[in-house]
Structure 1
Amino acid sequence: MARRDLIRPIFGAALGLGLAAAVLMPRLPAFAEAAPRRLPEAATRSSEAPGHHVAIFAGGCFWGVQGVFQHVRGVSGAVSGYAGGARADADYRTVSGGGTGHAEAVEVTYDPAVIRYDELLRIFFSVALDPTQVDRQGPDQGRQYRSALFPRDAGQAQVARAYIAQLDAAKTYARPIATRIEPEASFYPAESYHQDFLALHPDHPYIAANDAPKLDALMRLFPERATPEPVLVNRPPA
């Protein structure tokens, strides 16, 4: 079981009790081994038709990855969910067992006229995860927390492979990048209580220790790409 599951509820009905209990517990330490940094631009740039596009990223707990992309200019949606397995297994309790093939992932909808796929990759690798960790991220361990990209077409796959090769060739990290490229995977949205978690619960001990620093790094390292207001899945009524 991942350490975050010791301080967060598994089911939506337990959310209130989980948050109430969490305030009495000490913050868990962050386990990231590669500090956030502003990585170089991709040498291979995306060529995308006008209109909205979708990209899927997995980098450990989807709370933090979603929280980062919700604050990126040009992103109109970021949804936490599961990718890499079957529809029948796409629920939190089953995925948490680690044997479904799913990774916790985030589906990002973006406008390439504002931010291209290769620029999203740059932000992802710079601030959203430590891409050298294998089948874990921070305090969470298991294949469901692997680092992975799920390209939606051949163009995304080519750009993703080229950027990973570029970073490895430059010896950006002390260890090789472990991020997997897994094409032709379906995405299934996660339960509603997982959506907008960073935005709604910034003081949750897991968020404060592991995910808020990622958002801080986005604002600090990419101020030209960041927006203070998140794009929420569950938008409040007007």
Structure 2
Amino acid sequence: MTMEALKIERRGAVLEVTLDRPKANAIDLETSRAMGEIFTGFRDDPDLRVAIITGGGPKFFCAGWDLKAAAGGDAVDGNYGRGGFGGLQELRGLNKPVIAAVNGICCGGGFELALSADIILAAEHATFALPEIRSGTVADAASIRLPKRIPYHIAMEMLLTGRWFDAEEAHRWGVVNRILPADRLMAEARILADDLAAGPPLVFAAIKEIVREAEDMKFQDAMNRITRSQFETVERLYRSEDQLEGARAFAEKRDPVWKGR
């Protein structure tokens, strides 16, 4: 497993992952497998509560699949490692918040990586595209996720034409949460991450599991699963010290102290 392409920093309960593979921060199979190990470790580490994913350098967040590596033998359907491409797209049981700090060009698999996060912050100069159509392949994860996130016709235009759009348009369609000056992007991402890290981890876990599992369910079916104790994270929350702590803190008019148990 290579780590040269990835810079990892732990700040208390926050994990920062910087994809740093000049020129374009593209992801080959080896890097994807390394990212899978990192995000699996994040998922399983009780001391880590929030992750930030960003790109190295001022120009690229991530250009997606490394076509040069593909030309050299990396198969597009090869072993991406745990969590699928980039370690996030298919990582099971990831019940902690992930923030994507998009610091530049975000296209193809890089855009899909950002869509795998829970919150997306973008620098003012960030641009987005799904250009797979031009190289005769399919943006598979984006084809699943994007039409569920933004208006269908806008998503289909992006998928079918591969056209580029800027941060303002991405914000207008709800692809990104906020646009920030480039020199403030990481500072604001860290403020947000620290705020989330101070929150109730068991509640966050329950939210993520419910949202993920209920995505294709009818409302009442999802509610029935909750009332029948069929969401593990919800049951853990309801039987936790944190559940009692929240009620006590409210009654005592103080800030709660979350322990994640």
Q: Shorter-chain TM-score category?
A: under 0.3
Q: Which has the higher contact order (CA 8 A, sep 6+)?
A: 1
Could you say which structure has the higher helix fraction? Answer: 2
Max Rg structure: 2
TM (norm. structure 1) is 0.26
